[in-house]
Structure 1
Amino acid sequence: MIVYEYPFNERIRTLLRLEDLYQKFTFFLQQEHPLQHHVALSTIFDMLEVAGRADLKSDLLQELERQKQTLLGFRTNPNVQPERLDAVLSEVDQISSALVAAQGKTGQNVRDNEWLMSIRGRTIIPGGACEFDLPSYYAWQHRPAQQRFDDIAAWFAPLAPLFGAINLVLRLLRESGRSHAMIAQAGSYQQMLQGKVYQMLRLSLDESLGAIPEISANKYMLWVRFTSQDGDMKPKPSEADVPFELTLCNF
Structure 2
Amino acid sequence: MIVYEYPFNERIRTLLRLEDLYEKFRFFLRQSHHLQHQIALSTIFEMLEVAGRADLKSDLLQELERQKSTLVSFRNNPNVQSEMLDNVIEEVDQVSSALMACTGKTGQHIRENEWLMSIRGRTIIPGGACEFDLPSYHAWQHKTQEQRVRDIEHWFAPVAPLFAAIQVVLRLLRESGTTTRMIAQAGSYQQMLQGKVYQLVRVTLAEDAAAIPEIAANKYMLWIRFMCQDGDEKPRVFESDTAFDLTLCNF
Note the 1:25-174 alignment, pairs <5 A.
Answer: 25-174=25-174
Paired with 1:93 and 1:205, the residues of 2 have a C-alpha distance of 35
Residue 234 of structure 1: CA displacement?
A: 1.6
Give the match's secondary structure for 1:208: coil
Q: Runs of at least 4 residues of structure 1 off by over 4 A?
A: none
Asked whether 1:211 is paired with 2:211, we answer: yes
Percentage of pairs with the same residue:
76
TM-score (norm 1): 0.99
Q: What is the Cα deviation at residue 231 of structure 1?
A: 2.4
Letter in 2 for 1:109: H
Q: How many Å separate the matches in 2 of 1:232 and 1:19?
A: 28
Cα deviations by residue, 1:131-190 (Å, 9 ceiling, x for unpaired): 011010011001101100000000000010000000000000000001000000000000
Kindly provide the amino acid, as one letter, of the partner of residue 115 in structure 2: W
- 1:106 aligns to what SS in structure 2? coil
CA distance in 2, matches of 1:208, 1:89: 38
Whole-angstrom distance in 1 between the partners of 2:202 and 2:151: 37
* SS in structure 2 at match of 1:248: strand
Secondary structure of 2:214 counterpart: strand
Q: Distance in 2 between matches of 1:71 and 1:209?
A: 37
d(CA) in 2 for partners of 1:231, 1:93: 48
Which residue is equivalent to 2:223? 223
Point out the more displaced range, 231-240 or 212-221: 231-240
Partner of 1:239: 239
Query: 1:164 is aligned with what amino acid?
Result: A
Q: Which amino acid aligns with 1:166?
A: I
Say which is worse superposed, 65-74 or 225-234, in terms of deviation: 225-234
> How high is the TM-score relative to the length of structure 2?
0.99
Indicate the residue corresponding to 1:192 in structure 2.
Answer: 192
- Quote the Cα distance in structure 1 between the aligned partners of 2:20 and 2:244: 23
**SS of the residue 1:31 aligns to:** coil
Deviation readout 1:73-93 (Å, 9 max, x if unpaired) = 101111001101100000010
Q: Distance in 2 between matches of 1:233 and 1:113?
A: 46
**5+ long unaligned stretches in structure 1:** none
Q: CA deviation at 1:233?
A: 3.6
Number of aligned residues: 251
Q: Which runs of 5+ in 2 are unaligned?
A: none
RMSD after superposition? 0.6
| Cα deviation code 1:42-70 (max 9, x no counterpart) | 00000000000000000000000000000
Contact 1:230–1:236 under 8 Å retained in 2: no
